[in-house]
Structure 1
Amino acid sequence: MSTTDALIQHRRDIADLRQRIKNRRLQVVGLYGTPVLLVVSVAAGAVVKISFWLHSSVSSAITNIFGGALAFLVLATVVQFYAEFSVDTPWKDAKKSLRSLKLDLELAEERRILEARRLTPPAIERQSSYRERLPGEIARLRIESTHYRRLHLFMQWLLFIGSAGVSGVTAWYDPPQPAKGILIALGSGVSVVTAAVGYFKPRERAFNLQQTADSMEQHITALELGIAPYNNVDEAVNMEAFATIVEGLRAEQRMREQQLDQPQQGQREVI
């Protein structure tokens, strides 16, 4: 097996273990949570019956709904216990604890690190591989930038419509008592959207992501064309400079994201 195939296989094993941990966590929650929910439902039904219908009969609709829910919980409990404890279980990790799966994941990650140290390719090959991964990173940045740009536009339209609605309803009704509920709803909506825009800053996030993607794409083009700052005759020097600059751009992007996540006073202190 080649070096690349060995490292890829290690990554596949780790991804498989992570998915198995997620599946096992859901199985354990269902296995123990469904019987508890069944008991709680029966107890709640008894309390409700005693509190509200002690001397009268419950309507057939409520009885049918409650009985159907109990039947579903009983069936789900039986099915899960069968899947967990039967001989021909369909569950891959039946009777296996989450702790053991997490230990397997830690060991798999440790094996991948040790194999990566032993099979690490030369720096020029790693830098070339890094360059090939960047188009996917640029595409991700552009997708996130588009998402935040659309979110910003959507919020702005909500503000436009809400503000116009408040003014229109106020002008239409004088005094505004017949439409007081509409005015309250529109005013509250405008306040909430304004606060959300100021807190999440989708416009700034979209701008930062787009700027980083454009800068990375510019450096990729300069490297492919062999123009400054990647016009050195030694390709290894160019690749090292390229990786250093791109990692600096990604670090700046992360720093800008952290600044946007901080309160306004915290941003001033960081800046």
Structure 2
Amino acid sequence: MSTTDALIQYRRDIADLKQRIKNRRLQVIGLYGTPILLVSSVSVGVIGKVYFWLHSDVPSAITNIFGGFLAFCVLATVVQFFAEFSVDTPWEDAKTSLKSLRLDLELAEERRILEARRLTPPAIERQSSYRERLPGEIARLRVESAHYRRLHLFMQWLLFVGSAAVSGVTAWYDPPQPAKGILIVLGSIVTVVTAASGYFKPRERAFNLQQTADSMEQHITALELGIAPYNYVDDEANMESFATTVERLRAEQRMREQQLDQPQQGQREVI
């Protein structure tokens, strides 16, 4: 097995263990939660009968709904206990504790780290592989930028329409009834959208993501064409400079995102 295949297999094993932990967590929640829900429902039914219908019959609609819910809980409990404790269980990790699975995950990650250290290719190969992953990163940045741009446009159109509708409804109705409710709703929409736009800053996020994607794409093109700043004779020097520059761009992008997540006072302090 080649170095690449070995590392890929370790990643697959780790991903499989993480999925098994998620599945087992849901199984345990259902296994213990459904009987507890069943007992709690019966207790609630008894309390309701005592406090509300002690001297009368429970309405048939409530009886049917409550009975159907109890039947579902009983059926779910039986099915889950059968799946957990039967000989031919359909569950992959039946009778296995989450602690054991988490330990297996930690050991798998530790093996991956040790094998990656032992099988690590030369720096020039890692840098070349890094360059090949960048188009996917650029595509992700562009998708996020387009998402925030659309969100910003949607918020702006809500503001435009809401503000115009408030003025229009105010001018149309005199006295304001029955439009008072409409004015309250429109005014609330304008206020909420204005506050959300100022807090989440989708326009600034879209601009930063697009700027980072364009810069990374520019450096990739320069590296492929062998132009400045990647016109060294030594390819290793070009790749090292390229990887350093791209990581700096990504760090700057993360810093801008952190600044946008902070309040205005915090942003001024950071800047």
TM-score (norm 2): 0.97
Output the amino acid matched with 1:67.
G
| Change over 3 Å in CA distance of 1:181–1:55 after alignment to 2 | farther
SS class of match (1:177): coil
Note the alpha carbon deviations across 1:68-95, whole angstroms, 9 max, x for none. 1111111111111111111111111111
Give the Cα separation in 2 of the matches to 1:221 and 1:256.
24
Structure 1 residue 225: Cα displacement: 0.6
SS class of match (1:143): helix
* Structure 1 unmatched ranges of 5 or more: none
Output the amino acid matched with 2:234.
D
Note the alpha carbon deviations across 1:43-87, whole angstroms, 9 max, x for none. 222223333333332332222222111111111111111111111
SS class of match (2:268): helix
Give the Cα separation in 1 of the matches to 2:109 and 2:27.
24
Structure 1 residue 214: Cα displacement: 0.6
Give the Cα separation in 1 of the matches to 2:11 and 2:176.
65
Which residue matches 2:177?
A: 177
Which residue matches 2:136?
A: 136
Which residue matches 2:234?
A: 234
| Change over 3 Å in CA distance of 1:158–1:53 after alignment to 2 | farther
Answering whether residue 201 of structure 2 is matched by residue 201 of structure 1, we say yes
Structure 1 residue 104: Cα displacement: 0.7
Give the Cα separation in 1 of the matches to 2:197 and 2:41.
42
Percent identity of equivalent pairs: 87
Give the Cα separation in 1 of the matches to 2:86 and 2:71.
22
Output the amino acid matched with 2:179.
A
Give the Cα separation in 1 of the matches to 2:106 and 2:98.
12
Which residue matches 2:86?
A: 86
Give the Cα separation in 2 of the matches to 1:79 and 1:146.
46
Output the amino acid matched with 2:136.
G
Answering whether residue 22 of structure 2 is matched by residue 16 of structure 1, we say no
Give the Cα separation in 2 of the matches to 1:50 and 1:166.
53
Give the Cα separation in 2 of the matches to 1:159 and 1:46.
52
Answering whether residue 261 of structure 2 is matched by residue 261 of structure 1, we say yes
Which residue matches 1:99?
A: 99
Structure 1 residue 219: Cα displacement: 0.5
Alignment of 1:153-172 (within 5 A): 153-172=153-172
Structure 1 residue 142: Cα displacement: 0.7
Which residue matches 1:215?
A: 215
Which residue matches 2:75?
A: 75
Alignment of 1:27-38 (within 5 A): 27-38=27-38
Note the alpha carbon deviations across 1:108-153, whole angstroms, 9 max, x for none. 1110010011000000000000000000111111111111111111
| Change over 3 Å in CA distance of 1:163–1:55 after alignment to 2 | farther
Give the Cα separation in 2 of the matches to 1:239 and 1:60.
76
SS class of match (2:179): helix
Which residue matches 1:58?
A: 58
Which residue matches 1:246?
A: 246
Give the Cα separation in 2 of the matches to 1:42 and 1:188.
43
Which residue matches 2:43?
A: 43
Structure 1 residue 209: Cα displacement: 0.6
| Change over 3 Å in CA distance of 1:158–1:55 after alignment to 2 | farther
SS class of match (1:178): coil
Give the Cα separation in 1 of the matches to 2:161 and 2:75.
50
Structure 1 residue 35: Cα displacement: 1.1
Give the Cα separation in 2 of the matches to 1:63 and 1:48.
11
Count, aligned residues: 271
Structure 1 residue 254: Cα displacement: 0.4
Structure 1 residue 186: Cα displacement: 1.2
Output the amino acid matched with 1:113.
I
Structure 1 residue 42: Cα displacement: 1.7
